[in-house]
Structure 1
Amino acid sequence: MTQRPGAAEIGKGSLPVLMLNEAEVERLIDLRALLDGLAEGFRAMAQGRVQAPPRPELSVPGKGFSLAMPAWMQGCNLTVKIVNVFEHNLAVGLPNHLALIALFDPQTGAPLCVLDGTYITGVRTAASAVLSVASLARPDARVATVVGAGVQGREHLRLLPLVRDFAEIRLASLYPEDAEALARRFPGVRAVTDIEAAVRSADVVCLASHAYEPVIRSDWVRPGTHVTSVGYAPPRGELPTDLLERATLYVETEAAFEPPPVGCAELAGLAPSAGIRLGDMLTGTAPGRVSDQQVTVYKAMGIAMEDMVAAHIAYTAALRDRVGQHVAL
């Protein structure tokens, strides 16, 4: 019988790890595949098929914080994202959110890939919100208003036409010049300055700002509207909390009700029973829209499952198309 070598005789040696930069990741992720993958991911979470433990935080006083976000389910690689949220980065020419994602072989734990997570963080957040539009907006929804002309505004404008045939998409911002500039990049999108009027006549309202105070008022939202909110800016945030008193609330997980930065500032003080998990609605174990007059709200916080799904799509496409560079580690 051949004797196996002992642990002291085995070294890691040189392992090839695929490196994917931001431009490559963006090119590799098909947006329709992302929407489909996220829908399956939310269903898997509802069925207990996703491991996603609480995310630990490192805080740099006066600067920002760093979160580690691990997730895994069968069919994907072990996924760990490190995301750094530093409020003042725009002043030095960097995004407020910077992230890296590492993938590991679930059979051995060996590292497989390190890829940019900054683009993934932005697109998966918007895609999850737009997935809620596909599932919860009225069937006859024809007008969408996006409030926010930053990264999330941009990604919403790319994704919304994939789930509904909107007759009109409007873009508003607390900085009108930003809305004008971004709208010019998307044919058919119209920049508007009167946010109240744009919200009052919309069927879908997507809040995508970095505002520390509500950017709309509850009484602007007419019956039957679906509202999404992806902004993160405690202590109050962009979503008016009194809107929740007359709306059906949907969230990614119960962790949305924890204090920031894990949970959402706008949900502070609410019990987890106040929200329906999106995955439960998608699996049919919880209700979706039940009337044309119902106001529905999706409040996002961003979860590791979404990063895992997006990274899996990028990595699989990179292997298929032979994109990226292998580095020996």
Structure 2
Amino acid sequence: MGRARAPTPRWLDPRGLAADRPHPGHQPVAARRLLAGPGEAREAQRAAAAQGPSVRGGSSHRGRTQRSRRRARRAPVPSLQQGSRILHQRSTAVGRDDLPLRDRGGSRRSDRWRAGRDAARTHWRRAGVHAAAAAAARFSATVPHPAGRRRPLRRASIALLLTRGDLARLLDYSSVIDAVGAAFAAYSSGRTQTPLRVGVEPPGAEGVLLAMPCAVAEPRSLGAKIVSVFRGNAVRGLPTVNSIYVLSDYETGAPLVIMDGGYLTAVRTAAGSAVATRELARADARTLGVFGTGVQARFHVETIRRVRALTRVLVSGTSADKAHEFAEWVTAATGLAAEPAAPQATSAADIVAACTTSATPVVLAEHVRDGAHVNAVGAFTPTTRELPSQLVARARVFVDTRAGALSEAGDLLLAIQDGQFTLSSVVGEVGEVLLGALPGRIDPRQVTIYKSVGAAFLDAVTARLAFEKAGEKATGTVYEFDAE
């Protein structure tokens, strides 16, 4: 008797699927098959069938012959999908747009037989079921079986899975910056629904689970991010922060894509700072001072250098080794001159990016020069801050959203408690500057601050961009949730 193989822990599988037993719904096929037009989809299915044997037993030649005879006797099946681009375009033959596909491209035999029979009956009786089926599908209802059978013909429930690597290949920084800028303007003009994040703290556990839903009217984006922050995970060898994002169809609410939330958060946060820098920093700003050496710090270098012609980067970290390693990465990745620096020198840069998890100020107010612009994105609770009250008091302050900043931004709320700042001192939102409703920098010697605590509409538009790019570049993995 052989030695039993130790099962692979499910939590170690980076795709969220059990490595030792893949879920039957997991279909490692290219996104092009999911998003292609009807004609392209048919060609893709024929090619897939030619490359390997059928998933069903028996003679493949006999099966093809029988299927051809049955198709010749059937009337076309009206499509049940009118509003869902994905499901409508997964068809493999004319008249069978509503049938879910197997891994090799074949439709479910029983559903196919019943659908063909019932479609023929409907055709002969001249019954107009097309509009009724489309209306039922629009409200995510079960489409009744025309013959009154107990088992209904249900819509397939599928989505695209995008990993961190997929997002890195799909999302170029300039496109994300443009999308985020449009989202800022949409929010400030009232074209989004963005409630404050909702959180729960599990009793007996040191952590919080957050939900951030949002709907954006243009570009049409609907989705939600689920984020968990468990600080005890470090001793377990697990990430402190985990998140996923679910983008849904704007018309039906059906899931379109599920993606890694960590990369999404990092790139859209840095893109927000880049938009603020583009609108608020002096045109001749050349040096960037970065506090922090983590993921956010790296993304800020990448995005800010795309809106200002940087020549030098200064970095301050929690240790000299981390700062030195980060500076080496900057030079290798961007070609910019970079060096570790003391907080005094980093605070004196033309543009400052505070990207830390510190609960106390890291930027030194007395060293921030006139005309500087400061982005503060690390602190997102009422009791933590990266900026001292003296700096907030002397600056022209802009935020991502008033509602979020004035309820969660410790950089501002603690300055108010210190008596050096007031709510009315917040000039406005970056979106209002983009819309021309407010001026940005009005004096070259003025210090400007962009304070962000995170906004769900930035996630939504970035996720939408990733979904569109996935279709163009055939990236991702299709997953069928209702697979048996």
State the alpha-carbon separation in 1 of the partners of residues 223 and 337 from structure 2. Answer: 36
Alignment check: 8 A CA contact 1:257 1:272 kept = no
Partner of 1:298: 450
State the alpha-carbon separation in 2 of the partners of residues 272 and 42 from structure 1. Answer: 21
Of 198, 203, 210, the match for 2:346 = 198
**Greater helix proportion:** 2
Corresponding position: 1:274 with 2:422: no
Corresponding position: 1:245 with 2:387: no
Superposed counterparts of 1:1-329, under 5 Å: 2=128, 4=132, 9=144, 12-60=154-202, 63-74=206-217, 75-187=219-331, 188-200=336-348, 202-232=349-379, 234=381, 235-259=383-407, 263-268=408-413, 269=416, 272-275=423-426, 276-329=428-481
Q: CA deviation at 1:273?
A: 3.1
Counterpart amino acid of 1:21?
A: T
Alignment check: 8 A CA contact 2:177 2:272 kept = yes
| Gap change, CA 1:53 and 1:227, over 3 Å in 2 | same
State the alpha-carbon separation in 2 of the partners of residues 233 and 285 from structure 1. Answer: 26
Counterpart amino acid of 1:114?
A: I
State the alpha-carbon separation in 2 of the partners of residues 326 and 53 from structure 1. Answer: 30
Counterpart amino acid of 1:266?
A: D
Q: CA deviation at 1:65?
A: 1.2
SS at match of 1:60: coil
Q: CA deviation at 1:46?
A: 1.3
Partner of 2:57: none
Query: CA-atom RMSD, angstroms?
Result: 2.0
Counterpart amino acid of 1:27?
A: R
State the alpha-carbon separation in 2 of the partners of residues 277 and 82 from structure 1. Answer: 25
Alignment check: 8 A CA contact 2:343 2:364 kept = no
| Gap change, CA 1:92 and 1:233, over 3 Å in 2 | farther
- Higher radius of gyration, 1 or 2: 2
Number of matched residues? 325
| Gap change, CA 1:177 and 1:282, over 3 Å in 2 | same
**Greater strand proportion:** 1
Deviates more, 1:67-76 or 1:283-292: 67-76
State the alpha-carbon separation in 2 of the partners of residues 89 and 318 from structure 1. Answer: 32
Counterpart amino acid of 2:395?
A: A
Counterpart amino acid of 2:208?
A: F
SS at match of 1:224: coil
Q: CA deviation at 1:316?
A: 0.5
TM-score scaled by length of structure 1? 0.92
Q: CA deviation at 1:147?
A: 0.9
SS at match of 2:244: strand
Q: CA deviation at 1:282?
A: 1.1
User: Relative contact order (C-alpha < 8 Å, sep 6+): which is higher?
Assistant: 1
State the alpha-carbon separation in 1 of the partners of residues 154 and 321 from structure 2. Answer: 54
SS at match of 1:162: coil
**What percent of counterpart residues are identical?**
33
Return 5+ residue gaps in structure 2 as ranges.
1-126, 145-151
State the alpha-carbon separation in 2 of the partners of residues 293 and 258 from structure 1. Answer: 26
Counterpart amino acid of 1:279?
A: G
